[in-house]
Amino acid sequence: MNERPVSRFIDLSLRLIMRAMWFCGGFHWIRVKGQRAAASEVPILTVAPHSTYFDAIPITMTMCSILTKLESRSIPVWGTLISYIRPVFVFRSDQDSRRRTVEEIKRRAGSGGEWPQIMIFPEGTCTNRSGLILFKAGAFIPGLPVQPVVMRYTNKLYLPIYSPSPEEKESPTLFANNVRKIMAKALELPLVDLSFDDREISLSRGPLRILDCSSLLHFHQLVCRLGLRAERSGAVLEDQARRARKLQRETLREDEFAEFLELPLTHTVTQVHSLFDQRGDGQIDVRLHVIALSTVHRPLRSMETLRLAFKMYEDEENGHVLLEDLASIFEVMLGVRHVDLSGLFLSLGGSDATKITYDELHCFIEQNPSFVQDHLDFENHPRGRPKKKSCNGHSKDD
């Protein structure tokens, strides 16, 4: 093993120093319920809910290794302590980093107690403690027993060891969800079917930020059930966009949609398909699915999604996208209904009010930071304009 020896004296000294710091911060008494299991018995401790920097108290009391974002190393004083306890660093935006993180967790967890226990906050982000959001699967992928630790101010509670069933060993997601239920029950909190990625969707920003995230959040939860959460790379989205473009305006039935996704036809696939069945005839334009997938996977990079959409819809000869298609694109990206583009084309002042290129639109959006608010109309627009017939053929009274 490559682990350097850990001095008990240094550990004890650091614990005393950190305990004094917490005491000065107002945490005069820290009560612990339950017994912490040995590293040889349980390699991973899962802690929730995660809501504040004060949640570092159990880390300083146990000197466990932790799973933390790479940026934590630069925090004064705290960054030095984090490095000392041999953390597993993860760079959230790097898919290779995530893969290496999972491999490192598996390696340490399978060491039979040679490595210190790893303390993981499986929610992956801070919440307001009103419920437990979806757990990330990293702590559960090894398929080894975990010890849940629930944080309640003013106390900390270790729950009994949770050993996974054969089914849970095969499905880290099932394992994570069942541990989450036990922890929520101990905390007397509800389960909230949101995740860290859902948080990014809800907090999207920019000229094409998501205005109503409810339908896109529902879509994201469904595609995560299909295992499409990992398919976040631009290369995967580009491939789906290329295949969707080849279909032109050909619509797909449920079975054809499942074939497009290279998945078996399941109830969840049917649910996703129904979200885009605009005419109610059991047929969908798969390009709308690709736009929605890009939107929820890259909520902070809306212009990349817009460019991807243009690649699927634009005319090969001149790069134009029809007005009605652009309206459909915006409806998916913004999470709104019945987009009317007459205000946009009036502002553009062009001779052809039926089509536009990506470069023309991109330039206009850059010059108009309040593009959506000032130049689009749609159902329940914050300006509260009266409903009228939209340019893409939909009635606003539908």
Q: Among residues 244, 362, 356, 355, which one has the least CA distance to residue 293?
A: 244
Q: How far is CA 198 from the centre of its chain?
A: 5
Q: How far apart are alpha carbons 138 and 132 in whole angstroms?
A: 17
Q: What is the pLDDT of residue 350?
A: 59
Structure confidence by residue, pLDDT tens digits, 177-207: 999 999 999 988 898 877 777 877 887 777 8
Residue whose C-alpha is closest to residue 144's, from 94, 179, 96, 188:
179
pLDDT tens-digit series, residues 33-45: 888 999 889 999 9
Q: At CB < 8 A and 24+ separation, what contacts does 74-81 make?
A: 81/14, 81/18
At 22, the amino acid letter reads W
- pLDDT of amino acid 354: 81
Mean pLDDT, the chain, rounded, equals: 84
Q: What is the distance in angstroms between the CA of the first residue and the CA of the last residue of the chain?
A: 67
Using an 8 Å Cβ cutoff, are 118 and 67 in contact?
Answer: yes
Once rounded to an integer, what is the mean pLDDT over residues 58-78? 84
User: What is the model's pLDDT at position 67?
Assistant: 85
Cβ 370 vs Cβ 387: under 8 Å: no
Q: How confident is the model at residue 3 (pLDDT cuts 50, 70, 90)?
A: very low
pLDDT over 60 (residue 4): no
Structure tokens at 170: 């095969």
User: Which is higher by pLDDT, 7 or 393?
Assistant: 7
The pLDDT value given to residue 341: 86
Over 70: is that where the pLDDT of 398 sits?
A: no
pLDDT tens, position by position, 130-151: 888 889 888 999 999 999 999 8
Q: Please, is 320 exposed, middle or buried when counting C-beta atoms within 10 Å of its C-beta (0-12, 13-18, 19+)? A: buried
pLDDT digits (tens, 9 = 90+) for 281-314: 999 999 999 999 999 988 888 999 999 999 999 9
Q: Which residue has the tokens 């159990």?
A: 58
What's the average model confidence in pLDDT over 95-124?
Answer: 86
